[in-house]
Structure formats: structure tokens, C-alpha cells
Amino acid sequence: MNSIKSVPARVLSRRPGHSLEAEREQFDKTQAISISKAINTQEAPVKEKHARRIILGTHHEKGAFTFWSYAIGLPLPSSSILSWKFCHVLHKVLRDGHPNVLQDCQRHRSNIREIGDLWGHLHDRYGQLVNVYTKLLLTKISFHLKHPQFPAGLEVTDEVLEKTAGTDVNNIFQLTVEMFDYMDCELRLSESVFRQLNTAIAVSQMSSGQCRLAPLIQVIQDCSHLYHYTVKLLFKLHACLPADTLQGHRDRFHEQFHSLRNFFRRASDMLYFKRLIQIPRLPEGPPNFLRASALAEHIKPVVVIPEEAPEDEEPENLIEISMGPPAGEPAVVADLFDQTFGPPNGSLKDDRDVQIESLKREVEMLRGELEKIKLEAQRYVSQLKGQVNALEAELEEQRKQKQKALVDNEQLRHELAQLRAAQREGERNQGLREEAEKKASTIEARYHKLKEKHSELIGTHAELLRKNADTAKQLTVTQQSQEEVARVKEQLAFQMEQVKRESEMKLEEQSDLLEKLKEELEAKARELVRAQEALTRTEQSGSELSSRLDALSAEKAALSSVVRQRDADLQAAQGLAREKEAALSREQQRSAQETAQLRGQLADKESQEQELQRRLLDEQFAVLRGTAAEAERILQDAVAKLDDPLHLRCTSSPDYLVSRAQAALDAVSALEKGHAQYLVSRSDASVLVAALTQFSYLAADTIVNGSATSHLAPTDPADRLVDTCRECGARALELLGQLQEQQTLHQAQPSLVRRPLQGILQLGQELKPKSLDVRQEELGAMVDKEMAATSTAIEDAVRRIEDMMNQARHASSGVKLEVNERILNSCTDLMKAIRLLVTTSTSLQKEIVESGRGAATQQEFYAKNSRWTEGLISASKAVGWGATQLVYVTPGSRRTGWCSTRASTKSSSSAPTRSRPARPSSWQLPR
């Protein structure tokens, strides 16, 4: 209410000369304007001056009728921000408004509850806050209506708190529980607000963050008072009740203490609160309620609201009076004046100046828009970070709830076992109680018998007129025994079980005493006879006996009063027994109710655990299905490359294909193991997912390299290799399709993919070059041998071509001779070039070998580079074969078709036949 003092008095005072209706109309319009400005859809905090006017309006009309008349008409279901600011204003009105505001809000509880339920069912961030805020407001209204001694601002003295709590322990207990509920609602709102904000302190300086943080000022004020009151009440309860009875209160207070301390610490670190409120610091640990002197160490937390600077009052014009052209529109009147009379003196501007000014205005406007865009982007980034943090916090909270549910489940089971043991103990106590009742009835019957015997003793008192001093002494002993029995009966009123045991012992003692009394009475009767005989002899002692008779009468009256006292004690013991029985029955009923409640909680925990287990299985299967789908796309892409014409240029070696196929077979083994393990335990699919990922990659790699290897293989092996790759892809896709469905998951057989992979492995081994069968030690000798053979073949071809040239000169003439000479010269030049090539390559080969390349000798070098050596051998064979073949097709040779028919016929019959050298096979060519 400190802020109300700064509002001008003109709002509350009646203006002179105005009627009551005009003043009421002016007041309604003022309130309507303040409510519309305070409660709007802008994501910004409520301005304090508008809230103050609404609060002053409640004091002016002594209620909140006008406020609710306008608030009901607000479109609260259409905007969550509008509902949030409505709850904020209502909270401020409840705290600082007129006391009658509470009754007016009670009549609109249904409206508040409907708004909270509406936004609670929608997935809106402000909507969830509105749901929590409305629950707090409803709790606040209910508490203050039930306890009118506490104002809505919750500020009372300790004397008022003591008077409200009273001396009844039950009332103090119930008031403490209600304050705990009140505090829970306050802390739940603060936790919900902080959960939606980013952890950065700079968020409190943004309008969106301040809109959420503004209501927490009232929450801090309420929590400080509630914390102080609960500490006072708990110390008072611990002074009246045992510590074990209040264990639940202490646990709940400790939990709220740590939450409140964390809330105050986070709020005090934010810049937004530092200039608006001074937040108190709570102690490091909660008070020790088990030590009564700790109350003196408690310090009441005090919240300080700094005095605000007086804000300039905005003129609230009920009728709009246009004071000038709106911002951004041209001054039409000034333009017309300038057009008519020209610009004023000294104000003539050049067109370039006008353009410069317009450009400056555009630059400033663009800068403003750029700043707005930057602020908007920063706000979006902050919101996204807040959402990520909120999701992470929710995930962590779900994990904690799951762990807590498991712990609670174990605790409930332990408590259920304890309750069952207590129930068995109660049944056993019931049996003991029934047995004690039987013993008590037996004691009562014996007591009645004793009473009858006592009445007989009273009847015989008339005959004891002449009893001597020994008889009086014995009566005194009897009276003392009666007092001892009375004391035993008083002990029965305090401890039931001890009374039952001691009563049985006392009964036996009384029975023995009764037998002794009977014996003594018989002895006294005999003595009385002797006394009567002596009485006849001694008449002088009559006066003494008369006095003794009076004494015995007094003793009789005393014994009668003792008997009545014992009857009253017996009735009190019976009443105490009935009270104990009623208390035991109530305890049994309470234990039965707690057992039923714990069973219900146990069932709820089990259902929650089953739901969490089901969600875990669904998530694991979703991961498996996503992995299988991705693996299926990988294999489909690999199978599609079998028919891709662009893939025809890709080649691969059989050695690499064999290594890929072997790795894929190993991955199939891992896949079988992971599949079997997943079928045993569906809660962990990590092994199967890892094996499936590796298998899809290796299988796709095997198919692609199989297709690339087939491009260099012969036709038949290439076709078989492609078909095997297709079969492997089909088997793998079928397996992945089965792994994506729950119905076919157990039918999946990863072993079916093994057979096509083994076929690819076998075909790859068949396509490997056979020249590797030659021993590595013979490669060096083969190189020298083939190079020497090639040189010999070339020299032989050169010599034969020269012979053919000489023969052609003798056998031909004219044009034919000229043509043959040119061809033979070309062949001679070609052979010389080939011989030079062989000689040069041989020299180069020797240089490479002699340079070492890491090998010690020539044979070791050839053995180490076996594939390069094989290519060199194949090339030398090809050169030798080409040189020899050239001789057979050269003009002038007996084996060519370029000579005359007669020469060809003669040469074919007379020339010796020579076998042509075989062409090296394709597998001997270097790759």
C-alpha cells in the first residue's frame, strides 16, 4: 500500500460542481481505461501506475464490483498473455485492494477456475503458467476466507498469529497444513516461470522475460510471511506433540525451505528484481525444531519495496481532441501555405538538401528497422534456448521421477510389510485384551465374593463387643491391606497391561489374605466364646467394652467408605478399559485405511512403472526401425548401382572384393548375435542397432564392389557375380523389412544373407590372377628370361625382314618392287624402334632395380613388387609376340597374301611349316 500514497488525491475526491451520477460515470471510465491499459495482449509487464489506479478504485467503491464488471467482458480465452496479465492484476488487487475485494472474488471463483482449466488443456507456454496461477489465486481466496484474521497481504503480528492458532493442538496442526499447501502453490508458480526462462541473467531485461517475472514480486512477498508463520507454528507444535508425530511436517518444511531458498537466490541474481524489490537472505540450513531454544535464533525475513520515483500522470482524455497531425503524415496545412506564399525567408532549400534529408530519414528508419529485427532475432534465439533448456529440464525431471518412483515403490513395499506386521501385532494385542477382560471379569467375581464375605464380617461385628486389644490390632492390619488393594486399583487406571498382571497377583494375595482372615475369624470366634465366658466372670469391664464397641462402629463406617471407594476405582478402571478398547478399534480402522491407501499408491506406482517400461520398449523399437529404414535405403542405393549405366566405368579388383565379402560375413555373425540378444531383452537394442549399421554398410560396399569387379571379368563369371549381388541385396532388403515390423521381428533370419555373401566371396577368389601361383623366388629369373627372349625374337625378326628385302629385290620389279621396298623399310624402321625400346626399357629396368627401392638384391626387389613384375613379364611377352607376328604378315614372306599366286603356291609346298607363338592371355596383362 505504499505505492497508493503517490497517486494524486483528485482520483478519490469528488470534484466540486459535479453530480453523483457524473462522478460515477467519470470513475467508471477511468477504471475502464486503466483496466484496458493494464490488461492487454502486449508481451510486457503491467505498468505500476495502471495497477495503482485499479487498486485505488477498489478503495473508492469499497469493493471490486467495477473491476469484475469489466474483467468478465475481456476475451481471456482468446489470448494466454491477456489471461496471464489478468491473473497478475487480480493478485495485486487481492493483496492491496479493499478488504471487501475478497468477497467479490469469491463470487467469481468459477470464472477463475474455468480460465485455468481452459489454458491447462492447451499446449501453450503462457497457458501452462495461467493454469498454475489460477490455482494459486483460488487457494489464496479459500485460505483468507477461512481465516479472516489474516489479511490478503498476509502481514500480521506475532500476537495475532498466536491468537489465531489458539491452544488447541488440532487447530494448530490443521493451520500448519493449510499454510504448507499455500506455500506449495506459490513455489510451483515460481518454478514454472523459471523453467520457461533462459538461465542467462540478461533475459530479465527483455520485455518477454519481464512479463513472466513481474508477478513473482507478489509471490516473494507472500512467501516471506508464510515462511515466518510456518516456523512459528512448527515450534509451537513441537512443544505440544512428540517429535515422531511431526516427522511428516518437518520433511515437508525442509523441502519447501530448500525450494524457497533457491527461488530467493535466483531472483536476487536477476537485474530486473534488484531495482524493484529487496529480497531477504534465508539461512544456510532450516531451523532445528527438536531444540526449543532454536526459536530465538530465527530471524523473520523482511521484504523491502523501494520507493518509486513519481511517474508523470498521463492525461486521460475521454474525448479525443486532435492536437496536430499524426506522426508520419505530412503537414498539409504547412504545405498549402508554402505553395501559396512561398517558403519563409531564409528557409529556401536546394533539391539536393531535400534529397539528403530524405535519405537521412530513410537511413534512420532502416536503422530502426534493423535494430528491431536484431532484437526480434535475439528474442527468438532466447526463446529457443529457453525451450531447449526446458525440454532438458523436463527430461531430467522425468528421469528423477522414475528414480523416485522406484525408491517410493520400495518404501511402500517396506511400509506395507510393517503395516502387516503391525496388523498381526494388533490381532495379538486383541487376543491379549480379550484374555485380560476375562481375567478382569474373574477378578470382579472374586471381588464380589470378597464383598459378601466382608458383609458377613460386618454382621459378626456385633458379636465382637468384647474383643481384646489383639483383635483391634488385627483390624488395623486388615485396614492397611485394604488400602494396599486401593493403591493397586489406582495403578490400573494408568497402565492397562500392568493392571491386568498386577490385578491377578493381587487377587491371589487377597485370596490368601481372605483365607487367613477366615482362619483368624474362626480363631477370634473361639476367643469370643472364651471372652463371653470371661464376660460373665468379669462384669467390671463392661464400660470398656462399650467404648470399644463405639470404636468398632467407627471402623465399620471407615471400612464401608473404603468399599465404596474401591467400587468407584473399579468403575474407573472399567471405563479406562473401554476407552483403550475404543482407541484400539480407531487405530485398527486408521491402519486399515492407510493400508488401503498405500495399496492404491502401490498400484499407481506399478502402473506408472509399466507405462515407463512400455515407453522404453517403444523407443528402443523406434530406434531399431529407424536404423533398419536407413540401412534399407543404403542397400537400395547399392542395388540400384547394378543397373546404373554411369557405374560401368567403375572397376575393382577381386582381392578387394574378397576382403569386403569376408568383412560382410563377419558382420552377419554380429547381426545374428545382436538379433538373438534383442529377442531375449527388448529393452536394449544398442547391440542390434550397431550390428545392423555395420552390416548395411559392408553389404552395400560388397554389392557395389562386386558390380565394379564384374566390369573386368569374363562374361560368364561377370553374370554370375551380378546375379549373386542381386540375390544378396534382395535377401538383405527382405531381412531389413522384417526388422521394421513387430509381427515379423521374431521371424527374421540373418543367416539367409550368409549364402549369397559366400557366393560373392567364392567368385572373387576365382577371379583372382593365377600368376600368383608362381613362386616368388622365380619371378626375378622369369623377368631376365623373358627380356632375353624378347630381344632374341626382335633380332630374329630384323634379320628375317632383311632377308625378305633381298628376296623381294630379286623376285620383283617395277611398282611392286617399290611398294614392297617401302613396306619392308617401314617394317625395318619399326623393328629397330622396338629393339631400341626394349634396350632402353631393359636399361631403365636395371636402373630401377639397382636403385634399391628398399630391397637388398634384384631377386628380393622382384619378389617384393610381384604385381609390377608380373606386368613387366606380360608386356615383354606381348612385345615378342607382336614382333614375330609382324614377320608373318610382311610383304615378300611366304606366309603372306601380298605375293603373286604362283610364288605363293610354290612357297606353300616347299617352305617348312612353323608354329606361331601363342598370344599371352588377358589375365597376364598388367592391371
| pLDDT 10s digits, 897-920 | 333 333 333 333 333 333 333 333
The whole-angstrom separation of Cα 274 and Cα 205 is 11
The whole-angstrom separation of Cα 181 and Cα 146 is 14
Model confidence pLDDT, tens digit, residues 168-195: 888 889 999 999 999 999 999 999 988 8
Whether 134 and 113 have beta carbons less than 8 Å apart is answered as yes
Whether 470 and 531 have beta carbons less than 8 Å apart is answered as no
Residue 720 has pLDDT above 70, yes or no: yes
561 or 726, higher pLDDT: 726
The whole-angstrom separation of Cα 47 and Cα 59 is 19
Residue type, 130: V
3-state helix, strand, coil in the chain (%, to 5): 80, 0, 20
pLDDT score of 815: 73
**743 DSSP 8-state letter:** S
Residue 837 has pLDDT above 80, yes or no: no
691 or 524, higher pLDDT: 691
Closest CA to 893 of 829, 808, 778: 808
The whole-angstrom separation of Cα 67 and Cα 71 is 6
Over residues 458-471, the mean pLDDT reads: 61
Over residues 681-688, the mean pLDDT reads: 83
551 or 777, higher pLDDT: 551
pLDDT score of 922: 33
pTM across the whole model: 0.38
The whole-angstrom separation of Cα 848 and Cα 862 is 11
| DSSP letters spanning 862-893 | HHHTHHHHHHHHHHHHHHHHHHHHHHHTSTT-
Whether 652 and 760 have beta carbons less than 8 Å apart is answered as no
pLDDT score of 457: 65
pLDDT score of 142: 92
Model confidence pLDDT, tens digit, residues 592-624: 888 888 888 888 888 888 888 888 888 888 888
Residue 661 has pLDDT above 50, yes or no: yes
Instruction: Report residue 748 CA to chain centroid gap.
Output: 34
The whole-angstrom separation of Cα 540 and Cα 544 is 9
pLDDT tier at 140, thresholds 50, 70, 90: very high
Percent of the chain with pLDDT over 70: 74
pLDDT tier at 204, thresholds 50, 70, 90: low
Over residues 29-50, the mean pLDDT reads: 88
Closest CA to 393 of 194, 578, 177, 643: 194
Instruction: Report residue 92 CA to chain centroid gap.
Output: 35
pLDDT score of 920: 37
> What is the H or E stretch that residue 318 is in?
none
537 or 210, higher pLDDT: 210
**152 DSSP 8-state letter:** T
Model confidence pLDDT, tens digit, residues 299-318: 888 888 776 544 444 433 33
Whether 623 and 688 have beta carbons less than 8 Å apart is answered as no
Percent of the chain with pLDDT over 90: 12
Residue 746 has pLDDT above 50, yes or no: yes
pLDDT score of 743: 85
Over residues 668-686, the mean pLDDT reads: 86
Strand partners, 278: 304
Q: What angle do CA 621, 626, 628 make, to 5 degrees?
A: 90
Cell of 314: 498521463
For residue 650, give the 3-state DSSP assignment.
coil
The least confident of 665-679, 682-696, 802-816 is: 802-816
The whole-angstrom separation of Cα 516 and Cα 524 is 12
pLDDT score of 185: 93
Closest CA to 20 of 52, 67, 60, 65: 60
Model confidence pLDDT, tens digit, residues 65-111: 888 888 888 888 888 899 999 999 999 999 999 999 988 898 888 88
The least confident of 168-177, 330-339, 512-521 is: 330-339
The whole-angstrom separation of Cα 706 and Cα 777 is 32
133 or 512, higher pLDDT: 133
pLDDT score of 307: 61
Backbone angles phi, psi at 298, to 5 degrees: -75, 135
pLDDT score of 912: 33
Q: Mean pLDDT over all residues of the chain?
A: 76
Over residues 752-756, the mean pLDDT reads: 90
Gyration radius of the chain over CA positions: 57
pLDDT score of 225: 92
